[in-house]
Amino acid sequence: MAAITIILSRNTFIDEEIVFEDTYFNKIYQNNFIDCDVTDEGNTNLWDNGPIEGGNYWSDYNCTGNPSNGSQPYIIDEDSIDHYPI
């Protein structure tokens, strides 16, 4: 069976519990996660699309300045990182 890559982009999730279970090699970027509990049980999903298109908005993310250089990643869990959060 061939793996299918899903692109999840330009969505808004509010007050949701979101679990990525048995999902692999998906691209998840330019979404708004507002008051959400997000879990990624895999370790191959990509949580940003590089510095130009960026990552996701996280309502519980606190940064200083502009994190577009990747210096302030958003840690989802030990294997899942949004390197360019908005």
pLDDT tens digit sequence for 24-50? 899 999 999 999 999 999 879 999 999
47, burial (CB in 10 Å: exposed 0-12, middle 13-18, buried 19+) = buried
Question: Has residue 25 been placed in a domain?
Answer: yes
Question: Has residue 1 been placed in a domain?
Answer: no
pTM, full prediction: 0.88
Q: What is the domain extent for residue 58?
A: 7-82
Dihedral of the CA atoms 41, 6, 16, 82 (nearest 10)? 70
Q: Is the pLDDT of residue 3 over 90?
A: no
Q: What is the pLDDT of residue 66?
A: 67
Overall domain count for the chain: 1
Question: Has residue 2 been placed in a domain?
Answer: no
Question: Has residue 42 been placed in a domain?
Answer: yes
Question: Has residue 24 been placed in a domain?
Answer: yes
Torsion sign over Cα 46, 40, 37, 67: negative
Q: Is the pLDDT of residue 83 over 70?
A: yes
Tell me what percent of the residues of the chain surpass a pLDDT of 70: 92
Q: What is the pLDDT of residue 67?
A: 61
| Mean pLDDT of the 4-16 span | 94
Question: Has residue 72 been placed in a domain?
Answer: yes
User: Nearest Cα to 18, choosing from 45, 44, 36, 42?
Assistant: 36
